[in-house]
Amino acid sequence: MLHDKIIVLTGGADGIGWECAKAYAKAGAVVCILDKSQIPISRLNELHTQQNIAITCNLTNEEEVATAMTTIIEKFGRIDAIHNNAGIAHPSKTLDQTSNQEWDLLMNVNVKSILYTTRYALAYLKESQGCILNTSSLTATIGQDNHAAYVATKGAINALTKAMALDYAPYKIRVNTVSPAAINTPTLQSWSKEQPNKEQMQHYLDKLQPLGNMPTGDVIADACVFLLSNAARFITGTILPVSGGAELGYRSII
């Protein structure tokens, strides 16, 4: 479904990002991972092709993002898609308890990084009539206690997706967002350990989604493959829940 596409994937070192990297490569794409963590060649080789690359990049640093995009263009000559997946969830706090530094870091990683990737790849996406995909969260539409700043960033991503979809539609560039609920990733496991009732948290997360226990990131990756593929060629400005029905209404969680 993604044969020969050059896909830039931020935050692809683990969790949902790594599952997407594997799915994109399996679907025929060349994956260019931008992540603050270095990915060993041995792990990159798990993608089963020689062309995929990983660039260690601080996505809150505009110069590093610009350099990374230049590197990708020099190597592959084009960009067909960007998946803005990088994100952090820390800290678990109400708004008044959130420090300036914590607020700024969340906004910079989760939202401002999208500004930078778009700024330095848009010209190439215009040439390829490519697409942009963002990773949001179900919390953006239903809220979450003790995560005000995080929820704010995900709400911003949803609104930004719709604005970008309108702005770039004249260039045949599609912009969509995938919205997970509870997905078993290193980030979520780290988050659950911060909670005061961490012993009950796993049970809660497994019961959150009517379709079954908390899944791994492959369920998100499958949806992302579709949204980046030609099968979704007339879909733009969409916030797609991949949530197992977590948002569908009141029910007993025992």
Per cent of the chain over pLDDT 90 is 75
Whole-structure pTM value: 0.94
> What value does the mean pLDDT of the chain take?
93
* pLDDT (0 to 100) of residue 185: 81
Q: Any idea which residues carry the catalytic annotation? A: 150
Domains belonging to the chain, first-starting first, are 6-185+217-242 (3.40.50.720)
- 182-225 per-position pLDDT tens digit: 888 877 777 677 767 777 777 788 888 889 888 889 999 999 99
- b/e per residue, 104-114, with b = 16+ CB within 10 A? ebbbbbbbbbb
* Span 41-54, average pLDDT: 86
- 127-178 per-position pLDDT tens digit: 999 999 999 999 999 999 889 999 999 999 999 999 999 999 999 999 999 9
Q: In whole angstroms, give the CA distance from residue 216 to residue 226.
A: 18
Q: At 253, is the pLDDT very low, low, confident or very high (cuts 50, 70, 90)?
A: low
Q: In whole angstroms, give the CA distance from residue 140 to residue 60.
A: 21
